[in-house]
Structure 1
Amino acid sequence: MRRDTLAAVGLVVFWSSGFVGADLGTRDASPLTLLAWRYLLAGALALVLLTVLAGRRRRMTRRRARHAVVVGLLTQAGYLGGIVGGVALGVDAGTAALVAALQPLVVAVLAQAVWGERTTSGQRVGLVVGLAGVLLVVLGDLGQGAAPGWVYLLPLGGMLSLSVGTLLERRAPAGGDVVGDLALHTLAAGAALVGLAAATGQISPPAGAPGFWAAVVWVVVLSTVGGYGCYFLVLRRRGPQTVSALLYLTPPVTALWAALQLGQVPGLLAVPGALLCAGAVWLVTRRDPSRQPAPATARA
């Protein structure tokens, strides 16, 4: 139980740190340049990790490897490419965060439609309350973008990509572990994002910009290793609805990161919004007594 709590806290803190790292890294370069170098460094670490695992004879089956590649493309390349690409083309950060916050609702609907995983009435209320909390947190940023209508399909596609990847990961074949899977996820996403940056001429790093490289290290260590590592650990141990609901806490924690690191003062509605998000996570993740197995004496 303590391990689950630490993983959940780590997920919220590390996932939220990515938005601050993106702000710092895109002051001197395009978002795609930042993503490319993030995955060049993270991919190198993943190759080292896979080499170590192979040396210890912790081999992954081909079926598991193919599955990991698909999940990596969806949860990392698809999600980050959609969200970051949309913001780069004019979608305001608040709208992008609000679209991303639809993910728990989409996961719940897809899980029930595809695999028959039902939600309780408390969980359904929590999903709606969480979305309302996110709306309050990001309300000050809404409507500030100047993107054409089609660009809003990018964050929507990124959110759907993360949702589908999350559900697919829940059905991962046997023959692997979280560490090896994450390494393959990173390599697959890196191949896609670095290739896209090279094809569009956005792979060259900015000259004389030490802040860019500090941001690259920031997003590799905190966002890729910490954020995605905790995400898949919570997903394996608690399921897709719990890991998705925890993302409701990332907008208020991001606002706290931004206040501490960037000096950005959150709006007046951020505090009640954060409280709603916390209540929503409690509703979604609490254990339903009616679904718990009866004690041995009662069964007897």
Structure 2
Amino acid sequence: MNLLLSVAFVLCWSSGFVGAKLGTESSTAVTILMWRFLPLAVVLVAVAVGSRRAPWQGLTARDVARQTAIGLLSQSGYLLTVYYAIQLGVSSGTTALIDGTQPLVAGALAGPLLRQYVSGRQWLGLCLGLGGVALVTTADASANTGVAWWTYLVPFAGMLSLVAATFLDQRSPTHVTPLVSMTVHCTTSALVFTGAALALGGAAPPATGSFWMAIGWLVALSTFGGYGLYWLVLQRSGVTGVNTLMFLMAPVTAIWGAAMFGEPFTVQTAVGLVVALAAVTVVRGTSPRASAAARR
């Protein structure tokens, strides 16, 4: 079951970069994000109002405020930077590759913040994964020379935002169901992006089929699939486990980008994919006993 969840998570999360590329070909980042979350938030709020209070039972205002902060970091902050980077010309593969440095940041902070200490074998896998990310990144960046250097810092900021949201969630003393967290996060994002789109004059959607295809893609695969599975895998595998899977986002997205948009996929990209797969195997293969010893 964990393997199937991991595969589904990688595919669905990677789909978000592809969906962003599809959407930004006909619209701006805030317009796409507004229409991605506004209808979804309406549906989720309606479900919450009509449901029996069980999922919300026992939650305090402080719990809801924490979930709002997590949503601001993990959806609003993270997605805006990703979409804006792609809008500026950074390829979907490169954006995913920069996000691929997240496991090292999360791994370094998991010990002091969560007491989830990373074992020697896990560090070996994390560093191996960074090597795979570097291989694919240099191959992709060399073929995308028309983009200003500072644009690559935009998705890096988004990566830090998602890391912060992950640790804020893990330090929460209250267990929150996926339905509750998804409702709060999506409603928060809908308010943020609708306000931004109205302020920037970008609330009106373009009259193109590709735009609405991108919106459907993002809602079904990226929000319910990728975002929902992120928190589920996080609960089952911990910070290091879920973030190690992030190493796979870059090469998988590079394959999608090559197939759908003609983005470069070279021998070096393929080698990076193999290295990233090896990194995941090393980290995920850590025995429970070793993991327990690392936490002591």
The aligned residue for residue 193 of structure 2 is: 193
The aligned residue for residue 10 of structure 1 is: 8
Q: 1:235 to 1:184 in 2, by over 3 A?
A: same
For structure 2, the residue ranges without an aligned partner over 5 or more in a row are: none
Q: Deviations over 1:87-119 (max 9, x none)?
A: 323445454333211111111111123233211
Contact preservation (8 Å) 2:100, 2:246: yes
Q: Deviations over 1:49-85 (max 9, x none)?
A: 32244x3533233232111111111111111112222
Bigger shift: 149-158 or 103-112?
149-158
Q: Percent identity?
A: 37
Bigger shift: 166-175 or 90-99?
90-99
Contact preservation (8 Å) 1:41, 1:220: no
Distance 1:32 1:141 in 2: 26
Contact preservation (8 Å) 1:83, 1:155: yes
**Structure 2 residue 266 is matched with structure 1 residue 238:** no
Q: Which of 43, 55, 58 is the aligned partner of 2:55?
A: 58
The aligned residue for residue 284 of structure 1 is: 283
Give 1:250's aligned amino acid: M
Q: 1:149 to 1:24 in 2, by over 3 A?
A: closer
The aligned residue for residue 97 of structure 1 is: 96
Give 1:139's aligned amino acid: T
Contact preservation (8 Å) 2:71, 2:184: yes
The aligned residue for residue 178 of structure 2 is: 178
Q: Give the root-mean-square deviation of aligned CA atoms.
A: 2.3
Contact preservation (8 Å) 2:93, 2:253: no
Contact preservation (8 Å) 1:49, 1:183: no
Contact preservation (8 Å) 1:39, 1:190: yes
Distance 1:271 1:247 in 2: 17
Query: Where in structure 2 are the equivalents of 1:1-300 lying within 5 Å?
Result: 2=1, 4-53=2-51, 55-59=52-56, 60-143=59-142, 144=144, 146=146, 150-174=150-174, 176-207=176-207, 209-262=208-261, 264=263, 266-288=265-287, 290-291=289-290
Contact preservation (8 Å) 2:70, 2:169: yes
For structure 1, the residue ranges without an aligned partner over 5 or more in a row are: 295-300
Q: 1:245 to 1:147 in 2, by over 3 A?
A: same
Contact preservation (8 Å) 1:14, 1:227: yes
Contact preservation (8 Å) 1:249, 1:277: yes
Contact preservation (8 Å) 1:77, 1:192: yes
Number of corresponding residues: 290
